[in-house]
């Protein structure tokens, strides 16, 4: 499900993961940056992986890092991208770890929240 949402409705923790995702994207010059927050409040940050033998979106990379770090669930995820909506594969990965209804915040390169999707 996709929902329009204003920046005013963001809590500070959601704003933080958007900022972290934006920083990862800029630092690596990648098409996407992502950050996820687990059930304990820890954050995991990643950018797109584009190797000849391995291709992962920023969000799936951040989720893999969370799983490798011992996360058992997700509270929220953020992606900074030019895409109009999260990829189905990204939403599926969020749902696998966070469950249905986990919010995925989609932001523009400047950090402006464009929409919120849920991993239903």
Burial class (CB in 10 A: 0-12, 13-18, 19+), 6: exposed
**CA distance between the termini of the chain:** 7
Residue 2 has pLDDT above 50, yes or no: no
Q: How far is CA 17 from the centre of its chain?
A: 8
pLDDT band at 8 (very low <50, low <70, confident <90, very high): low
What pLDDT score was predicted for residue 7? Answer: 56
pLDDT at 120 (0 to 100): 82
Report pLDDT digits (tens) over 76-117: 999 999 999 999 999 999 999 999 999 999 999 999 999 999
Q: How many residues make up the chain in this entry?
A: 120
* CB hemisphere CA count around 103 (13 angstroms): 20
Average pLDDT on 67-74 reads 97
């Amino acid at each position: 499900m996709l929902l329009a949402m204003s920046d005013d409705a963001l809590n500070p923790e959601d704003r933080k993961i958007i900022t972290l995702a934006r920083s990862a994207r800029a630092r690596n010059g990648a098409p996407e940056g992502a950050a996820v927050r687990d059930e304990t409040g820890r954050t995991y940050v990643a950018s797109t992986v584009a190797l000849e033998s391995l291709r992962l979106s920023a969000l799936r990379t951040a989720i893999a890092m969370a799983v490798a770090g011992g996360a058992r669930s997700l509270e929220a995820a953020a992606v900074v991208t030019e895409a109009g909506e999260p990829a189905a594969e990204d939403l599926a990965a969020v749902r696998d770890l966070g469950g249905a209804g986990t919010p995925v915040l989609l932001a523009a390169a400047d950090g402006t929240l464009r929409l919120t999707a849920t991993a239903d």
